Structure 1
Amino acid sequence: MSVTSAADTDALRGRLVAQALDEGFVSCRICRPDAVPDVPERLQAFVDAGYHGQMAWMADRMAWRGDPAALWPEARSVIMLAESYTPEYDPTEVLNHPDKAGVSVYAQGRDYHDIVKKRLKRVARWLVAQEPCEVKVFVDTAPVPEKALGQAAGLGWQGKHTNLLSRDWGNWAFLGAIFTTLDFTPDTAEVDHCGSCRSCLTACPTNAFPAPYQLDARRCISYL
């Protein structure tokens, strides 16, 4: 199949979403590489405050991390995917037992970089087989602002804890991105639904949030 019209693109897009869900992703949405113009300013403020700690690569690669379009200028669309790792038990139950240690849910399974990347590659290979194009896949190991792109694509919104949050699958999801030279119609960005809720901020045992929507990585157990 060759994409020659908007109708063809929409048809391919629908099959792409179905393929992503078949691979195990819980959501698949699309945005433009330049859909996050506020990221450079937010990233600069994060680094200027020293919140990145010893993660020097965040400062060194700000030009790319702040502008996904600069990472690969040929890309026309960013396919954002979410893979749920919601546990079958209530992970907050351990908080009722201060004599026990709680281990973050994401750290209890296999390395998500390997799992998500393999699935991303399968989806990307499928896409290339449907319509000749160029693709690049990213899972947290390149200067890509996945959470901001996820919100721009409509996967969810960045909550006060700075992670992506969805009304469909909460915030228990890993994010992956497929950059492609195909020109898909972008989805509508998600809006903030946090309201006055502060549950994520008060739950943090190390007070790693100086203010809503701000994370000081130096105080975060995951960083340590």
Structure 2
Amino acid sequence: MIPKPRLSINRKAAFRPLLIIGLLLFCNATSASLLASITNISNDSSGIAVVTNVTPVIAFAPSALYVFPLFDELFLTESDVGKTFYISSNSEDPDFSSFVDILTNGNDDIIGIGYMTGTTSYNNESVWFSTTPDFADHTITSIAITLDRLTLDSNGVGTDVSSSYSVGIWGNAVPEPPTIALLAYFAVLLLFAIRVKSAITSNRE
């Protein structure tokens, strides 16, 4: 009796599809892109107080009180023009995760964006970011502001302030179940092809 050829499969090759799908999902989870931006958050005022810096603020504002404000402890001076400041974790701002939770809760909440001392504007998330209604089904990795303009000029009594900054929301979309299923489907096909190739190689030997 002719011995039946043994099916020899390269285990490393067999696990390669799983590695590929894992890498694809990991890259999607860790890559971040600019999801939305707001420009020209301005404050132009003439005051009787001497001002040496400005402090931006981004916060949910269901009432007159700020809720989970970000950047409210950042003091910007004229030397910061052109610089971008990021908040990506609670170690950088203890309100970051709470802010992100509301930013992705599926509700069209009200956000105030402006200055701690100066002009603040209030709009729904859908208005600020052109979302429907917010960033549900997204992972927010960081929130950034860029100081575009700041001049502080003495008016003889106090300071004339002219400033403007931009806001950026960074993150990535959470893969939908059909996308994951499609990747798994191709991984199975690849695994099947490797098994067939291994079987053919074994029979030839």
**TM-score w.r.t. structure 1 length?**
0.23
Of the two structures, which has the highest relative contact order with CA contacts closer than 8 Å and spacing of 6 or more? 2
**TM-score w.r.t. structure 2 length?**
0.25
The structure carrying a bigger strand percent of its residues is 2
Higher Rg: 2
The structure carrying a bigger helix percent of its residues is 1
